[in-house]
Chains A and B, each alone.
Chain A
Amino acid sequence: MAHQHSSGGGYEAFAATAAEYGVDVRRVSPEEAEAAIEGAVDQPAVGALLPWDGVALPAAVTTDPTPAELSAATTGVTAASLAIADYGSVVLRADEHGSEPISLFTDHHVAVLHEDDIVPDMPAAFDWFGETLRESRDSAIIATGPSATADMGALVQGAHGPKTVEVLVVA
């Protein structure tokens, strides 16, 4: 991920807003990342390859899962391409490693983010989306907190998607 985004103070702002949605955010060094991911997952866990050199998934996270493994998994670990500080959102880009189903079918989603990819606000995010989506014709989700519904008479976290979300920010 070659993009560099302005990041002065972005982490604190992002972490504070994400916390309002019940998202647990932690900053880790590249060396600590693998152990931090291992600590964040509840087994069984599935994941998609992370795009950064020197940041690897622990062996306990199954990559290229089968549908059966996906169904059985409690945790899904995927990379976030971007985070939007104002909204506490992470951007989840669909890819051939199955990031979209892995982040969606599991009860607990662990998103791994590079601190350089935190942008301050929605206009900055949409500059990135415009360029990226026109060029790649990819798909991406702006995900804020866990899935939720109020359709059953009260707000419930954990509708069709994850019930809990955790973000590890690699700095």
Chain B
Amino acid sequence: MSSDTPTGGTARESKAEHIRQLLATEGDAVAANTRGFNAGRYESVAKLDEYEALKDEARAIKADAIERLPELIDAVAEAVEENGGAVYIAEDAADANRYISEVCEEADADRLVKSKSMTSEEIEVNEHLQARGVDVVETDLGEGVLQIADEAPSHIVAPAIHKSRAEIAALFNEYFDPEEPLETAEELTLFARERLGEQIKEADVGMTGANFVTADSGTIALVTSEGNARKTVTVPDTHVAVAGVAKIVPTVEDLQPFVELIGRSGTGQDITSYISLFTPPINSPTVEFDDPETPIGGAGEDRDFHLVLLDNGRLAMREDEDLRETLYCIRCSACANTCANFQSVGGHAFGGETYSGGIATGWEAGVHGLDSAAEFNDLCTGCSRCVEACPVGIDIPWINTVVRDRINDGHEGEFEFLVDGLSPDVETSGPDLQKRLFGNFETLARVGSAFAPVSNWLANADPAAALLERVAGVARERDLPAFQRTTLVEWVESRDRIPPADPDRKVVLYPDLYTNYIDVERGKAAVRTLEALGVEVVVPSVPGSGRAPLSQGMIDTARAKAEAVAGDLDPYVEAGYDVVVVEPSDLAMFREDYRHLLPEERFEALADNSFEVIEYVYGLLEDGGDLAALDHATGEETVAYHSHCQQRTLGLDTYSVAVLERCGYGVRTTDAECCGMAGSFGYKHQYYDLAMDVGESLAAEVRAADADHVVASGTSCTDQLDDLLGDRPAHVVELIAPEGEQSVLSATSRHTGDGNR
């Protein structure tokens, strides 16, 4: 492969350009809408007393349904046939389209009206039918806008969120040339409603999707607000519903948790206007608008119903251990709305052929193949904010990681030799050079530290920065991390400190790569803080957690790291030591990601005994630790605190806030889901503008807080805020640590090796 392959410099440049263009044209509308949905989600789910229990219940129903899928497909077929309808299991898009066009032919259909359905987008049924002379009309107002504009949805629930009211008005005024130009949302809605309403009245076939299909009664549930789906089902005498086979749940009662969760999780509505529970063919008279004087009546005896259950890769996904959970997805859009990157660019960048948002990687890989997933898979930074937002608890970052690993397979770039020496990974697949560089960050850090500060001057010097950008796609705007000559492990070894004879607790402080090689001061502060609270602290040399390779989809390398880390830490855990971690992304490895990398028993032993440093401090204080031993605020000092994304998903940000408050600080926290840097993401040339756009919303919050201190828990967040604010935030532990041997709490001391600063 040459450098103009999808992984080379040319491709990186065109991707960067595409993202810049979307940021400029669609970014504002997408950001306003998705952030509104996301804020609505927090508000709406907070009203549910049993939110977590409902999510567990919803997940269990999906897990059971997918497990029993073959028998449920048979049950649905039986129920629908009892009801007087027909079921067709379509193997793929072509098969589904062939069947649907036959139905249209039999109905002698000139026009088919549709309500919104992503599954029908997946099979591109509109194009298929239009080529066969059927007029296909999208009746959802958002889809209708896109049909006129000839654009693809930018969001799976609200397809036209990338368009502002003014843009829609301009589009309508040009396309329809109304007597009075349309302007307000009310005018636009009324106009579209009248026009589409007339088209529904003349329709021969109505097509819907299905949010859920129940196996016991053959009922399809549709979650909508406009009322167009009801009209689509009610008016024409022929109804076609297109649904993925994974939409089946066993019983009507099983719909209950989903009905309570889907609107809240997606657009932040407690419930949408209409949850339709149709058991087609429906027992309701058809409305013959072309026979206006005959009273309507009867129980719909003349109705035809066809349920097209689409496989198109889903049954294979069910057999694929890593993609299987994708089938639990209820298409609520929470993973899109909560995603900081999606909020900036929307589904036209963060999406494949059909689907968009975090879970789209699983869908695209499963139904369209890896090439479609590869278009946008990198935009998932693994920040994990979608995991708690997902109403069925899908491990979306893991699905993204696995698919990334599969995409990596087979990429060989022409500059590989440059990183070969620096990248001792064990990948059997072939990640591209940029991924290998960042994935092998541990080696870079070790070498960089050994040759600091010279290595820092060199890496940030203009010629080297330009070479790194051209060859490996490292954004030249970024200062690379400044490696410290003396690592945390070396500093602890050099201290000659006699451990306390009878410590209250024993801690092994994990020397994560950032704390050990770069932000060494926060490691020293952690050691002093723990010791001040009566804890014996050891800091052995332990390898990197594997976070860096995992984030690049280098799962084999990450697994090797996990095994090495567990090998080093297990003896301490067995000897009664607690594992304390400063860097939240590494703690998240121990507590969450190692689930996929280590045998269950080893994973649980490490996960159960690992703690975030301030979480641990909080526990010590709760156990009677001496609060007075910590450094306190003088007077009315305020802190603007940005917790780390993965730390928030683990629910640990509250400890940092509580400890800062106990130490006398007034704390303001940020709402931004992620800083935008997310490990190596913001260093990548093609994503630099996006990362800065995401970061800008965080920076705006921090500036507005106007606090005495800016504090962050993660290295990435610290680097990003440093770049955005021009001042490097401290870690929480640096604010509360007692004065010590080398306590200098200033930004410059940590960057003496940084030649560009």
Contacts and interface: CB of A to CB of B under 8 A. Distances in A.
A160 B226 contact: yes
A134 B216 contact: yes
A65 B284 contact: no
A53 interface: no
B538 to A, nearest CB: 53
Contacts of A136: 283
B619 interface: no
A89 interface: yes
B142 A151 contact: yes
A141 B225 contact: no
B279 to A, nearest CB: 5
A171 interface: no
A111 to B, nearest CB: 13
A139 B197 contact: no
B673 interface: no
Given A70-B296, A160-B197, A137 B279 contact: yes
B218 A137 contact: yes
A155 B226 CA distance: 11
A100 B284 contact: yes
Given A96-B299, A130-B251, A137 B141 contact: no
Nearest to B159: A151
Interface string A93-134: 011111111001100000000000000001101110110011
Given A94-B284, A122-B259, A161 B226 contact: yes
Nearest to A132: B252
Interface in A55-74: 64-68, 70-71
B276 A64 contact: no
Contacts of B300: 96
Given A87-B270, A101-B285, A152 B165 contact: yes
Contacts of A16: none
Interface residues of A, number: 54
A139 B252 contact: no
A144 B227 CA distance: 12
B189 A158 contact: yes
A143 to B, nearest CB: 6
Contacts of A141: 230, 274-277
Given A66-B293, A160-B197, A123 B256 contact: yes
A154 to B, nearest CB: 4
A40 interface: no
B279 A139 contact: yes
B724 interface: no
What secondary structure prevails in chain B residues at the interface with A? loop
A148 interface: yes
A148 B291 CA distance: 29
Nearest to A91: B277
B228 interface: yes
Contacts of B278: 139
Nearest to A146: B273
Contacts of A67: 287-289, 291-294, 296
Contacts of B139: 160
B272 A144 contact: yes
A171 to B, nearest CB: 25
A122 B230 contact: no
Contacts of A65: 295-296
A142 B274 contact: yes
Interface in B228-253: 228, 230-231, 234-235, 251-253
B188 A153 contact: yes
Interface string B443-459: 00000000000000000
A150 interface: yes
Contacts of A158: 189-190, 193
A86 to B, nearest CB: 9
Given A147-B227, A149-B226, A142 B284 contact: no
B233 to A, nearest CB: 8
A47 B142 CA distance: 31
A100 B226 CA distance: 15
Contacts of B270: 87
Given A66-B293, A67-B289, A152-B189, A137 B226 contact: no
B297 A147 contact: no
List of 6 A-B pairs having minimum Cβ-Cβ separation, nearest first: A153-B165, A161-B227, A151-B142, A159-B226, A160-B227, A68-B292
12 contacts: A70-B296, A95-B299, A96-B299, A96-B300, A98-B285, A122-B256, A138-B279, A141-B230, A148-B273, A152-B145, A159-B189, A160-B227
Interface of B: 82-83, 139-142, 145, 158, 160, 163-166, 168, 184-186, 188-190, 192-193, 196-197, 201, 214, 216-219, 225-228, 230-231, 234-235, 251-253, 255-256, 259-260, 267, 270-280, 282-285, 287-289, 291-300
Interface of A: 64-68, 70-71, 87, 89, 94-101, 104-105, 122-123, 125-127, 129-130, 133-134, 136-156, 158-162
